[in-house]
Amino acid sequence: MTRRKLIAGNWKMNGLTGHLDEVRAISEGSRDGAIDIDILLCPPATLIRPISDMLSEGGHVQVGGQNCHKAEKGAHTGEVSAEMLRDAGATHVILGHSERRADHGEGNDTVRDKLAAAHRAGLVAVVCIGETLAQREAGETLTVLGDQLAGSLHDDVSPSDTVIAYEPVWAIGTGKTASPDDVAEVHKHLRQRLGERFGEERGQGFRLLYGGSVQPGNAAALMAVADVDGALVGGASLKAQDFLAICEAARNCR
């Protein structure tokens, strides 16, 4: 099955209105090749509306949030609902990132509740899973990832509303990257687990992204790995030149 590659940029807690020039450069620089891959930018919530307004002019780059609350509205000071993200112009939302799991104690049940909220609002969810260095060294990688995958998804997910992103925790922002062989082993396992739970045809449809210090220099090798359907890019997505280079690598590996 041919799955369209997706390159998603997670800006994390970075970006002010002055960074809109980088967004404009990404939009303009990817215009000719955007028919070949999907491109997504996930800025801080404060920038979703201005970026959405800017991107609507070209229409080939989408914008997403980095988190949402499980409730539609209510007394949840400081939180943002999936409906609010949608109203601001978002089409996607990242859920279960390791920084949310570690810093805010979000477990699989919380991620699953937020996933239901994202789908309720009509957002595509990018669900993140990943093992720590201690878990990898203990030989627990596939078990940990299998448990996170099973616990974070509800039974009604589909390839059209859910993307899975594998981000080894030890590779996020460290400059370390899993080897292509390591990534191939994990993505093969995830594909198998998806097929077992949802059926072969449905399981083959989910896009599996790799994340963790993805850079222009390693993007081509990672995008060429079987069952890698794109990337969740951190720091490199803040610079148009770097992000566009990663997009180009994905296009060349279709």
Rg of the chain in Å (alpha carbons): 17
Amino acid 60: pLDDT = 85
Q: What is the CATH number of the domain that holds 234?
A: 3.20.20.70
Among all residues, which ones are annotated catalytic? 97, 167
In a domain, 195, yes or no: yes
Mean per-residue pLDDT over the chain, rounded: 95
What letter would DSSP give residue 129? Answer: E
Domain total in the chain: 1
Instruction: Assign 160 a pLDDT band (cuts: 50, 70, 90).
Output: very high
In a domain, 1, yes or no: no
Q: 189-243: per-residue pLDDT in tens? A: 999 999 999 999 999 999 999 999 999 999 999 999 999 999 999 999 999 999 9
Q: Is 103 helix (H, G, I), strand (E, B) or coil?
A: helix
Which domain range does residue 31 map to? 6-252
Dihedral sign, CA of 211, 212, 217, 221?
negative
